[in-house]
């Protein structure tokens, strides 16, 4: 629809002058989106204009705000570009629809020694392989918040794949983060590195540990969730923009409210459950065995498989 004048702020709406705009802002209606979502009767009262004028202003705001949409077909086209990184175990790959996918966030949660970090190391090696071998010919940005990055372990896994350990390590860009600002800024400022170094996998190990230790007590919970949410949002944006995979790890906390079954829930609660595309629960079984449970995925059914953590890495 052709418009006489682009509507960019409240004052550009029909019937809304400076004074009225000031009243609206004072009442918290400070953007076109908020006008567009207003109810005429309420709006007319706040703005001090009649209901008809309010309807016109709201309609103009609705027409001015654009919704960015893609058609189903465009999304389907886009999804054809999605890449997958093999976990190193056939059953595991099948469980998650062919491997850890790009364009999304994959989260594992589980108790200590359940294999979250080991899976990260394996993916950091595997992503460097060519596509026909389960990789993406890409490199890695590794945010290490727990000082558990072990080059010697990665070298061991690389050797088991007949890859040059030094070369593999030189393609992993590690950021040590000891505070949540370190962690979030590393991601916010990563665009250049991602482009220049062909990053195809971002690992945040652990996503939640620093947040948990910095934001303590009930009062801090809201702020923690909000910051975590923004961090995840940025990760998802990068995943989409550069068609890369994001792998994050999360601890569990004991949940005394659950009397039967496994009384553990991932840290971060709802925010994480909604932000992660694929959620995996890892738990220790006998010896080197681990049980992987697919808890949530948009396209594949829930299920379980068993993997092993061996000196050579993850295997079936």
Nearer to ligand ATP, 7 or 207 (CB): 207
Of 28, 112, 196, 286, which one interacts with ligand ATP (CB under 6 A)?
Answer: 112
Maximum Cα–Cα distance for the chain, whole Å? 76
Cis-peptide into 190, omega within 30 deg: no
Nearer to ligand ATP, 49 or 252 (CB): 252
40 CB-near residues (< 8 Å, 6+ apart):
51, 54, 55, 58
86 CB-near residues (< 8 Å, 6+ apart):
93, 99, 126, 129, 133, 134, 135
Question: Count of CB atoms within 10 A of residue 307's CB?
Answer: 26
* Chain position whose Cβ is nearest to Mg ion: 117
Binding status of residue 88 toward ligand ATP by CB under 6 A? no
Binding status of residue 208 toward ligand ATP by CB under 6 A? no
> Stretches 7-15, 159-167, 235-243, 305-313: which one binds ligand ATP (CB under 6 A)?
305-313
Of 43, 83, 86, 116, which one interacts with ligand ATP (CB under 6 A)?
Answer: 116
Whole-angstrom Cα distance, residue 13 to residue 61? 7
Residue 139 contact partner, candidates Mg ion, ligand ATP, none, CB within 5 to 8 A by sort of partner: none
The answer to whether the beta carbons of residues 57 and 16 sit under 8 Å apart is yes
Question: Shortest distance, CB of residue 219 to ligand ATP, whole angstroms?
Answer: 27
CA quadruple 95, 96, 99, 100: dihedral, nearest 10: -150
Q: Where are the beta strands (DSSP E) in the chain?
A: 84-85, 100-101, 105-109, 139-144, 172-176, 199-205, 245-250, 252-254, 264-266, 278-284, 289-296, 303-310, 313-315
Of 118, 126, 184, 208, which one interacts with ligand ATP (CB under 6 A)?
Answer: 118
Nearer to ligand ATP, 23 or 159 (CB): 159
Cα–Cα–Cα angle for 239, 246, 167, nearest 5°? 105
Of 114, 145, 161, 183, which one interacts with ligand ATP (CB under 6 A)?
Answer: 114
Nearer to ligand ATP, 25 or 150 (CB): 150
Residue 122 contact partner, candidates Mg ion, ligand ATP, none, CB within 5 to 8 A by sort of partner: none
> Stretches 31-39, 105-113, 132-140, 266-274: which one binds ligand ATP (CB under 6 A)?
105-113
Whole-angstrom Cα distance, residue 60 to residue 39? 14
- Give the interface with Mg ion as residue ranges (CB under 5 A): 116-117, 148
Residue 113 contact partner, candidates ligand ATP, Mg ion, none, CB within 5 to 8 A by sort of partner: ligand ATP
Whole-angstrom Cα distance, residue 298 to residue 284? 26
Binding status of residue 134 toward ligand ATP by CB under 6 A? no
Residues in region 233-292 near ligand ATP by CB under 6 A: 251
Nearer to Mg ion, 49 or 279 (CB): 279
Which of 107, 295, 297 minimizes the C-alpha distance to 203? 107
Question: Shortest distance, CB of residue 114 to ligand ATP, whole angstroms?
Answer: 4
Binding status of residue 84 toward ligand ATP by CB under 6 A? no
User: How many Cα neighbours within 13 Å face the side chain of 35?
Assistant: 32
Whole-angstrom Cα distance, residue 295 to residue 195? 32
Nearer to Mg ion, 116 or 129 (CB): 116
Question: Shortest distance, CB of residue 244 to ligand ATP, whole angstroms?
Answer: 22
Binding positions for ligand ATP, rule: CB under 6 A? 110, 112-118, 148, 153, 156, 251, 309-311
């Amino acid at each position: 629809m052709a418009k006489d004048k682009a509507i960019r702020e409240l004052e550009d709406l029909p019937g809304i002058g400076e004074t009225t705009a000031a009243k609206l802002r004072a009442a918290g209606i400070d953007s076109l989106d908020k006008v567009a979502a207003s109810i005429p009767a309420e709006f007319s009262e706040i703005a001090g204009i009649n209901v008809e004028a309010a309807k016109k202003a709201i309609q103009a705001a609705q027409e001015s705000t654009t919704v960015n949409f893609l058609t189903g077909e465009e999304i389907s086209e886009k999804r054809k570009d999605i890449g997958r990184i093999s976990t190193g175990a056939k059953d595991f790959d099948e469980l998650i629809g062919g491997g850890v996918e790009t364009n999304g966030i994959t989260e594992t949660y589980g108790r200590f020694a359940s294999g979250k970090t080991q899976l990260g190391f394996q993916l950091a090696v595997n992503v460097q392989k060519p596509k026909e071998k389960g990789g993406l010919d890409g490199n890695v940005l590794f945010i290490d918040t727990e000082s558990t990055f072990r080059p010697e372990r990665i070298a061991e896994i690389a050797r088991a794949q007949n890859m040059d350990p030094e070369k593999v390590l030189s393609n992993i860009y590690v950021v040590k983060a000891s505070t949540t600002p370190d962690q979030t800024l590393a991601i916010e400022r990563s665009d250049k590195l991602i482009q220049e170094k062909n990053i195809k996998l971002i690992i945040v190990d652990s996503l939640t540990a620093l947040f948990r230790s910095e934001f303590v007590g009930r009062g801090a919970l809201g702020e923690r969730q909000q910051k975590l949410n923004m961090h995840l949002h940025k990760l998802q944006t990068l995943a989409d923009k550069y068609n890369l995979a994001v792998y994050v790890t999360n601890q569990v906390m004991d949940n005394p409210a659950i009397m039967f079954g496994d009384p553990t829930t991932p840290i971060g609660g709802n925010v994480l459950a909604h932000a992660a595309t694929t959620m995996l629960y890892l738990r220790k079984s006998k010896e080197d065995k681990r049980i992987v449970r697919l808890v949530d995925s948009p396209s594949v059914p829930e299920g379980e498989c068993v993997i092993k953590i061996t000196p050579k890495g993850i295997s079936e």
